[in-house]
Structure 1
Amino acid sequence: MWDSSSDSDRVALIDALNVMDPALGRALDPITELAAFTFDVPIALISIVDADSQRFISRVGLAVEGTDRHASICSWAIGSAQVMQVADLREDPRYAQNPLVVGPEQVRFYAGAPLLTRSGLALGTLCLMGRAPRVLSPLEVQQLQTLARVVMAQMELKMSMGRREQVTGLPNRQQFQADLDLLARRAGDGHFTAVLLDVLDAHSANDAGQALGMKPVEALLRQSSLRVQSVLQDQAQVYHVGVSRFAFFLVDQDRTQVEALLDRLRERMRRPLMAGSVPMLPQFHAGACHFKAVAADTNDLIRKCLVAMQHAVQTDACLCWYSDERDARLRRRYRLASDAARGLAQHQFSLVYQPRFSLHDGMPVAAEALLRWVHPMLGPVSPGEFIPVLERTALMPALSRWVVDHALAQLALWQHALPGFGMSLNLSPRDFDDPGLWEMLSTRLQAHGLPASLLEVEITEGEWLQGHPGAVPQLRAMATAGIRIAIDDFGSGYSNFGYLSEVPISLIKIDRSLVTGLARSRTSRLKVEAIIKLARQLGYRTVAEGVESDAELSLLRLWGCDEAQGYLLARPMTADAATLLVDACRAGSPGEDTA
């Protein structure tokens, strides 16, 4: 009957290729009808034999759609590479009691040609059945085999639709996943490594497409695919899984072997390619991941390779291996992004306030509103972690409005208890995507009966101002109304006094990375002293962040820094604690350091 050693592979292939799709059967119906007509038989079938049954995906002259596998005559035919004939089923003890023989159909004659894949696996048969004994001539046997090959070709064509990338002709991401699924169903014990490769810089490809059209870019991709295939040759099937991304998997190669292969591939790929008449230098970023041939690994493999490859892109490395720790950090960021809206609705966010002190008289002059998030499962989450995540989501404007509402409400309360005590708010670059930002701020100030001069808006320094043309007009409108504009984290990165002339800045906050440890670092002392002196000459007030020692405070006073903020003076605290602290300072008694 069938070869049990290859049967699991065959059944897995049937599942992976989705040959039971009714659309495939409809496409094969004309061939089945042609077979019935050509051989003058009442019944012609295309039968697919899986683990437990046979299904007639296309049929002529038979009402039933399938039978139990053990009652299947085709189950015997798929074990043969040739046409199997039974002249009289009643005379053969294997089939004499078959339901199609003894039942209403009264079938006597059978001939079945196996439907063989290129790898030699039989998915089923193209079979003929008659109600009288018969033997096919050698010519008829040849014709039946020819029709079976036509059926198989049509099946492969139909199944490959949507599984090929048109530009390169390579199997695409859907086929890559289907082949991984097939690999998992075979339950092999081998050791596998998947590789995801990006060969073209997106910005360069976009520029080339705009200048030359898409045909030269497509030619680049075809050349790249040929290079990848030439290096891999018989080692792996190459898949085109993204615009400029290729994938493949290797069998039983250790880390050293994989890296050696990718070194050869990188050397081959980094040679210039021609886009029209312009030579372009391809990039080479690869992500690799070991996996086992089990569904738990293969179902998530593309994502893991993408995690590794993206890290290679971000670090400009040729190759990065998948890391559980890096993946966990990415998943945590995604969870924060997806849970934030619920957190806002369920009051998981709150504000704390860190006072800021004048270095001339030691009095607290304002407090910075700082956002906090206590996640029900993850616990307290640092703003340094969740703010960058939320800035990339559509929730950030709503969260910023929430901060504005709650902070201004608290500022209004302070004006009764602490007249003249100010507040600073942090606004992100994303907030300035909203053209109504200033209008919203102005409306909320009026609603709380607050003068604009009590509010300070902090923005991070950087090139983002050039990418947000609407930011500067809104900042100017705020400054005109009396809101003070502060540059936060100055000195931490893109520090340039030149661009400050375009923005109505009144205050510079020197980043804690320069201030903390100031007394021990000559370089930091030179930088901070220079920033303070130049800022004063340009008419800006200065605030030092992250003050943690008396020595730092003394140096800042010596250089003429206007204000300071840090754990030495006061930690972030609740609104009530801040009220008590400011009250005590104004009354002339030292306030307690409140955590």
Structure 2
Amino acid sequence: MRAYEEAARLDALRQLRLLDTSASESFDRITRMAGQIFGLPIAAISLTDTDRQWFKSRVGITHDHIARAKAPCAEVAETTQGLVIPDLAADGFYANSPLAQSGIRFYAGAPLITREGHGLGSLCVLGAEPRTASPEELAALTDLAAMVMAQIDLQHAVGRVDPVSALPNRFRFLEDLDDLARDTPGEQRFVVLLDLARADQLNALIRVMGAGYIETLVKESARTLREQLGSARTLYHVAATQFAFLSLPGATMPGYLDVVSAGLAVSTAGSIARFVTTMAAGIVPVTLGAIRSQEI
């Protein structure tokens, strides 16, 4: 794969904001179906990152990623073609791969392809014994991979993405909180809410500058805040001029106040409305699963 093609593929993957997100039952049920169709104990939705295969969904394995080097799913992502390896131990390229060395013998993967033609990864099934795959099994795997992409498109589109900021919205925020509570109940996090301006300031801006100016302010703020947060944390657009995000695990209140204050200062300094608006932030400690996400 050419360097520019790989860069475009990775950019498409990043824009979907799937990497390092919580497990989701909507994906897990497809993964389970894939394993059941083949009668195999291991199945996964594997996304090809820069140097790893990260599992959005997995059955029969505990780790959430493996190295990309000599991973069959990476070949599927790069070629956007299905791949069947009847016996990894007898394959000239994959015989010394981490999968083969761990005891995996059979692999079958169907590509996860965006509408633009970028390969995100693979829906794959694995087994500890050599075997073949029937045309019917491979057709079913391809259909399930298409269902995975339909689910990805659904989550990225209507109902979960704000049309102005292009950020995940309040519905997605609550959904992600529920998924985290299911996966790591009792874990301590901080919810940070950012408000771009007071109500009276917004009303004055709309009267003087028009509603379009508020949209410009929201888009600019979304871009700046995303740059401040980086890729490790997801920024949500939860109300007209309000954003929210979750702290990473292990954060402490004193330290996190400093982080939020510093980020707020940078965002405010670059705002087009910095002289007529007052950005504010609130931080709430949350124990995942202790209360309903709607109550936060």
Query: What is the TM-score when the length of structure 1 is the normalising length?
Result: 0.30
Residues 192 and 244, structure 2, Cα contact 8 Å, conserved in 1 = yes
Identify the residue that residue 260 of structure 1 maps to in structure 2: 258
Match of 2:155 among 159, 181, 191: 159
Cα distance in 1 for residues equivalent to 2:122 and 2:234:
19
1:18-66 deviations in whole A, cap 9, x for unaligned? x69xxxxxxxxxxxxxxxxxxxxxxxxxx7245xxx4x9xxxxxxxxxx
Residues 49 and 75, structure 1, Cα contact 8 Å, conserved in 2 = no
TM-superposed CA distance for 1:213, in Å, is: 2.3
Compared CA separation, residues 153 and 12, structure 1 to 2 (3 A): closer
Residues 169 and 237, structure 2, Cα contact 8 Å, conserved in 1 = yes
Identify the residue that residue 201 of structure 2 maps to in structure 1: 204
Identify the residue that residue 279 of structure 2 maps to in structure 1: 284
Cα distance in 1 for residues equivalent to 2:291 and 2:113:
30
TM-superposed CA distance for 1:265, in Å, is: 1.9
Identify the residue that residue 297 of structure 1 maps to in structure 2: 291
Identify the residue that residue 104 of structure 2 maps to in structure 1: none
Match of 1:48 among 30, 33, 57: 30
Q: Please list, as runs of the form range in 1=range in 2, the aligned pairs for 1:542-557 lying within 5 A after superposition.
A: none
Residues 109 and 122, structure 2, Cα contact 8 Å, conserved in 1 = no
1:292-336 deviations in whole A, cap 9, x for unaligned? 232x2352552xxxxxxxxxxxxxxxxxxxxxxxxxxxxxxxxxx
Give the letter for the 1:242 counterpart: A
Cα distance in 2 for residues equivalent to 1:229 and 1:207:
27
TM-superposed CA distance for 1:281, in Å, is: 3.5
Cα distance in 1 for residues equivalent to 2:165 and 2:255:
27
Give the letter for the 2:24 counterpart: L
Match of 1:219 among 197, 211, 216: 216
Identify the residue that residue 242 of structure 1 maps to in structure 2: 239
TM-superposed CA distance for 1:180, in Å, is: 0.6
Residues 270 and 281, structure 1, Cα contact 8 Å, conserved in 2 = no
Cα distance in 1 for residues equivalent to 2:30 and 2:144:
13
TM-superposed CA distance for 1:187, in Å, is: 2.3
Superposition CA RMSD, Å: 4.3
Q: Which has the higher contact order (CA 8 A, sep 6+)?
A: 2
1:256-292 deviations in whole A, cap 9, x for unaligned? 11110111022123326336xxx64332222211122
Question: Mind listing any 5+ residue stretches in structure 1 that lack a counterpart?
Answer: 1-8, 21-46, 57-68, 88-110, 126-132, 303-595
Identify the residue that residue 539 of structure 1 maps to in structure 2: none
SS of the residue 1:195 aligns to? strand
SS of the residue 1:270 aligns to? helix
TM-superposed CA distance for 1:246, in Å, is: 0.6
Question: Mind listing any 5+ residue stretches in structure 2 that lack a counterpart?
Answer: 1-19, 47-72, 74-81, 87-107, 126-131
SS of the residue 2:159 aligns to? coil
Cα distance in 2 for residues equivalent to 1:284 and 1:80:
40
1:537-573 deviations in whole A, cap 9, x for unaligned? xxxxxxxxxxxxxxxxxxxxxxxxxxxxxxxxxxxxx
Compared CA separation, residues 227 and 84, structure 1 to 2 (3 A): closer
Cα distance in 2 for residues equivalent to 1:134 and 1:229:
44
SS of the residue 2:239 aligns to? coil
Give the letter for the 1:73 counterpart: F
Give the letter for the 2:160 counterpart: R
Give the letter for the 2:214 counterpart: V
Identify the residue that residue 226 of structure 2 maps to in structure 1: 229
TM-superposed CA distance for 1:135, in Å, is: 6.3
Compared CA separation, residues 282 and 233, structure 1 to 2 (3 A): farther
Compared CA separation, residues 112 and 202, structure 1 to 2 (3 A): same
Cα distance in 1 for residues equivalent to 2:45 and 2:239:
41
SS of the residue 1:291 aligns to? strand
Residues 22 and 183, structure 2, Cα contact 8 Å, conserved in 1 = no
TM-superposed CA distance for 1:206, in Å, is: 2.0
Compared CA separation, residues 240 and 301, structure 1 to 2 (3 A): same
Answering whether residue 175 of structure 2 is matched by residue 178 of structure 1, we say: yes
SS of the residue 2:234 aligns to? coil
Cα distance in 2 for residues equivalent to 1:49 and 1:80:
7
TM-superposed CA distance for 1:238, in Å, is: 0.7
TM-superposed CA distance for 1:255, in Å, is: 0.9
1:362-399 deviations in whole A, cap 9, x for unaligned? xxxxxxxxxxxxxxxxxxxxxxxxxxxxxxxxxxxxxx
Cα distance in 1 for residues equivalent to 2:216 and 2:243:
15
Residues 77 and 113, structure 1, Cα contact 8 Å, conserved in 2 = no
Residues 273 and 281, structure 1, Cα contact 8 Å, conserved in 2 = no
SS of the residue 1:273 aligns to? coil
SS of the residue 2:204 aligns to? helix
Compared CA separation, residues 266 and 158, structure 1 to 2 (3 A): closer
Q: Which structure is larger by alpha-carbon Rg, 1 or 2?
A: 1
Residues 231 and 264, structure 1, Cα contact 8 Å, conserved in 2 = no
- Following TM superposition, the consecutive aligned residue runs of length 4 or more in structure 1 with deviations greater than 6 angstroms are 114-121, 133-136, 143-148
Cα distance in 1 for residues equivalent to 2:202 and 2:194:
16
The total of aligned residue pairs comes to 209
